[in-house]
Amino acid sequence: MVFYDDDEVPESRPMFLFDWQLDNVQTFVAAANRVNATRLPSWLKRRPPDMTAHSFTEELFEAVATHARGRLGHVMLGPNTLQQLGAIMAALASLQADSFLQAAVTEAFPQTPCVEYLAVTYCFDTRGNRGEPMRFPTLYDRDGQPLRSLFM
């Protein structure tokens, strides 16, 4: 685990924060453990039906953290360069497009439009303590149908 003192984090190095919505993660994991998937994400170590909310968030965060300079538990990535921040956002977009994760989120939250997120994400580009939730653009499948968002 890495901890950053204020003096270590330059103003120009954004931090990326995950505010896990634990009730939603637990509902999602219960659904994911029921989904009959032929192809699972390569980063997923604990496979259904044995996934837990903790294993899922840790493994997902570990996969995304490969694009960051450092991490704090499974809630914060950084400090990052702008290139690293872009890579983190691209990794999250790729995760949202994964067929297994889309099947699980559809099973967990069948209502449309889905307004439940696994995590609300924030980018802090200064040492200030106020952040605004990230807004990811809607992604579409090959047929032009919108994918469900896992992250805000």
Kindly report the CATH number assigned to the domain that includes residue 30.
3.30.70
Instruction: Give me the mean pLDDT over the 53-59 stretch.
Output: 95
Considering the domain boundaries, does residue 66 fall inside one?
Answer: yes
pLDDT higher than 50, residue 99: yes
What tens digit of pLDDT does each residue of 7-17 get?
554 556 788 88
User: What is the side-by-side strand order in the sheet with 119-124?
Assistant: 71-72, 76-77, 15-20, 119-124
4 pLDDT band, cuts 50/70/90, is: very low
Asked whether residue 31 is domain-assigned, the answer is yes
User: Which percentage of the chain shows pLDDT scores above 90?
Assistant: 40
The answer to whether residue 41 scores a pLDDT higher than 90 is yes
Number of domains in the chain: 1
Range of the domain at 30: 12-36+45-124
**19 closest CA partner among 89, 94, 62, 76:** 76
Instruction: Count Cβ atoms within 10 A of the Cβ of residue 70 and give its class: 0-12 exposed, 13-18 middle, 19 or more buried.
Output: middle
Structure tokens, 78: 């950084």
**pTM of this structure:** 0.83
Q: Answer yes or no: is 150 within a domain.
A: no
Cβ(43)–Cβ(60) under 8 Å? Answer: yes
Cβ 95 vs Cβ 87: under 8 Å: no
Higher-pLDDT residue of 37, 83: 83
Task: Judge whether residue 1 has pLDDT over 50.
Answer: no
In a domain, 78, yes or no: yes
